[in-house]
Amino acid sequence: MVSSDSAPLRPTIEQHDVAFDAEPGVVLRGWLLRPAGAATPLPAITMAHGYAGTAHHGLFPFARAFAEAGFVVLLYDHRNFGSSDAPEPGDIDPWRQIADWRSAISFLESRPEVDAARIGLWGTSYAGGHAIFLGATDRRLKAVVAQVPTISGYEQGLRRVEPGAVPGLEAAFIEDDRRRFRGEPGQRIAVVGSDHEQPAAYRSQDAIDFYLQELPEGVWRNEVTLRSGRAARMYEPGTWIARVSPTPLMLVVAMEDTITLTDLALAAYERALQPKKLVTVQGGHFDPYLSQFSVASAAAVGWFREYLVRSPGGQPCPISA
């Protein structure tokens, strides 16, 4: 069915609040989207946000694009952020987030509208690093997209922290460990801020604009634990990229990325094995959510269609280079 100007009508999307246990006493919350009226079971995509953000930081447009393309989509907030439980608000442990994401995959498998044999994963920024690691270690996934992914926390730290500031930063990490050992609250810093007298994870104007965008009231605080930064500096998901194969992997790389760094992503792509695909977009780290959204989303939709949608004969699409 088409409209009077011959443009295809977008399918109606159903969106439902969902919740599932990450572990006893910790509930993760999010949204399940699907095309209304579609025959089930359907292929599915699981999504989560990047460092210190929420699902409301630019992810809903991607989720809707995937649902309009015929997928069931699970979009959720990591623990300690957004609508999910927060045992320690603002604390980011990449390995805990990865373990939680495995629970999200299991939850998605359990849904009656989902074909558990056709699940893909989309991650962006810090969660793009998680996407690489999960693609390498969880064979339930049949296709992976990593958008502007973290490749090396160590290398990012070398570029983003001035050498003269490193001793002070390391001393702050150690003092934070001592405070926590004494049973005192850990130190917190801003996620973004332009005042160099106040500690912040990001200071670039594009990061400030992205994180401080208008959001639903109460969804997000400009605050993260200091130890989250230490964990980020030790996080090396790029070391796993060659192990993603034979799961199909797409990397979406911004060509002027000063956050997760363009050259690190391009070098990592060269280490990945087939089947793989590189999509480059103009601009910086946040442009795939903004000016380059149409390019980034269309590329991801195409990748998931290629590897998650069954052929007319009813068989899964073959993996090809």
pLDDT 10s digits, 68-123:
999 999 999 999 999 999 999 999 999 999 999 999 999 999 999 999 999 999 99
Paired tokens of 25: 């006493």
pLDDT in tens, 166-196: 999 999 999 999 999 999 999 999 999 999 8
- The strand pairing partners of 190, in sequence order, are 200
Structure confidence by residue, pLDDT tens digits, 258-291? 999 999 999 999 999 999 999 999 999 999 999 9
Q: What is the pTM of this model?
A: 0.94
Q: What is the DSSP string of 182-221?
A: TTPPPPEEEEE-S-TTS-EEE-SHHHHHHHTS---TTS--
How far apart are the C-alpha atoms of 289 and 281, rounded to whole Å?
11
The CATH number of the domain covering residues in 13-152+233-308 = 3.40.50.1820
Q: What is the DSSP string of 264-286?
A: HHHHHHHHPPSSEEEEEESS-TT
